[in-house]
């Protein structure tokens, strides 16, 4: 018996060292991938022609920076949820288009982004947590009580805009641009694209860390939120998206699982396709579609 124990101890020790080493590597990767993002005001000077009110609210222990545009507009409030490695002012095209068409806008910077607190963005699920906090702030302000609430999200924000519907929020409609279905699926896809099957050596530590950081929120999916809410949802994706490929980890790829009868799919192909970065999308026809979709969902 003692001999067996003696043989097992080195194996257990090696496994512990391997697990600890993998954990350290995963922590380093999270720190690198989800580091702070700073804005570049010089790229968005023209948005200064649109008066805005700066506000703040808390997501966990971090104070986040938000902006309200079109304070006198009364069609409804559109909440803008930005993508990873992006920040609120980069969505100036759709913000100004919607303000010009009578919508009030609430945009904000996620944890660890530009004027918001946080030493990093923490992880993908933090985008969902921050959007949830933004909605809770909005509901706490009487000035928004009579306004229909819409959400427009991009990439990570496209996921968050749909996944936040797993909560019981008062939301009238959602538009998701280039969104993915789950944080687990997109992490696996992008990691294996970079380092291949080696990722699976680290995946247990990734999901342990996700669970520690975000709890059950890490398991939320966009499709579950869409189906649970039964509200109007527009899914927009391009055929040539090489960040969130249309036929693998996107919400679009899971469309057969959608049971919500109020979902509209906008698939952009050919000359209309613009890859992944809708914040730079040059055609106002798409923004007009969004405007009309929100108009019909009030």
Domains by residue range for the chain, with CATH: 51-182+220-296 (3.40.50.1820)
- Greatest alpha-carbon pair distance for the chain in Å reads 80
Look at the alpha carbons of 290, 293, 295, 298 in this order and tell me if their dihedral is positive or negative: negative
- Nearest to residue 92, comparing CAs of 167, 57, 134, 40? 40
pLDDT digits (tens, 9 = 90+) for 67-90: 999 999 999 999 999 999 999 999
pLDDT digits (tens, 9 = 90+) for 234-274: 999 999 999 999 999 999 999 999 999 999 999 999 999 99
| Stretch 184-188: mean pLDDT | 86
Helix, coil or strand: residue 178: coil
Per-residue confidence (pLDDT) for residue 15, from 0 to 100: 41
State the Cα–Cα distance between residues 237 and 9, nearest whole angstrom: 53
Per-residue confidence (pLDDT) for residue 27, from 0 to 100: 47
pLDDT digits (tens, 9 = 90+) for 50-70: 899 999 999 999 999 999 999
* Model-wide pTM > 0.85: yes
The more confidently predicted of residues 122 and 26 is 122
């Amino acid at each position: 018996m003692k001999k067996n124990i003696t043989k097992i101890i080195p194996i257990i020790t090696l496994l512990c060292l391997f697990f600890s080493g993998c954990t350290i590597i995963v922590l380093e990767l999270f720190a690198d991938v989800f580091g702070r993002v700073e804005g570049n005001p010089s790229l968005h000077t023209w948005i200064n022609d649109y008066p805005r009110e700066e506000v703040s609210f808390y997501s966990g222990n971090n104070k986040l920076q938000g902006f309200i545009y079109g304070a006198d507009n009364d069609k409804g409030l559109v909440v803008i949820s930005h993508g990873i490695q992006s920040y609120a002012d980069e969505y100036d095209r759709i913000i100004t288009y919607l303000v010009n068409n009578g919508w009030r806008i609430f945009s904000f910077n996620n944890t660890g982004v530009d004027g918001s607190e946080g030493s990093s963005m923490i992880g993908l699920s933090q985008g969902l947590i921050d959007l949830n906090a933004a909605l809770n702030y909005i509901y706490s302000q009487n000035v928004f009580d009579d306004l229909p609430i819409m959400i427009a999200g991009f990439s990570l924000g496209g996921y968050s805009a749909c996944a936040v519907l797993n909560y019981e929020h008062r939301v009238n409609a959602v538009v998701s641009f280039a969104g993915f279905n789950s944080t687990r699926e997109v992490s696996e896809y992008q990691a294996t694209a970079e380092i291949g099957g080696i990722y699976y050596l680290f995946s247990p530590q990734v999901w342990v860390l996700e669970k520690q950081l975000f709890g059950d929120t890490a398991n939320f999916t966009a499709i579950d939120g869409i189906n649970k809410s039964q509200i109007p949802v527009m899914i927009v994706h391009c055929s040539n998206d090489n960040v969130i490929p249309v036929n693998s980890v996107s919400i679009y790829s899971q469309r057969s699982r959608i049971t919500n009868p109020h979902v509209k799919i906008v698939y952009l192909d050919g000359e209309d396709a613009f890859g992944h970065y809708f914040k730079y999308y040059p055609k106002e026809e798409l923004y007009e579609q969004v405007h009309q979709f929100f108009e019909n969902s009030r």
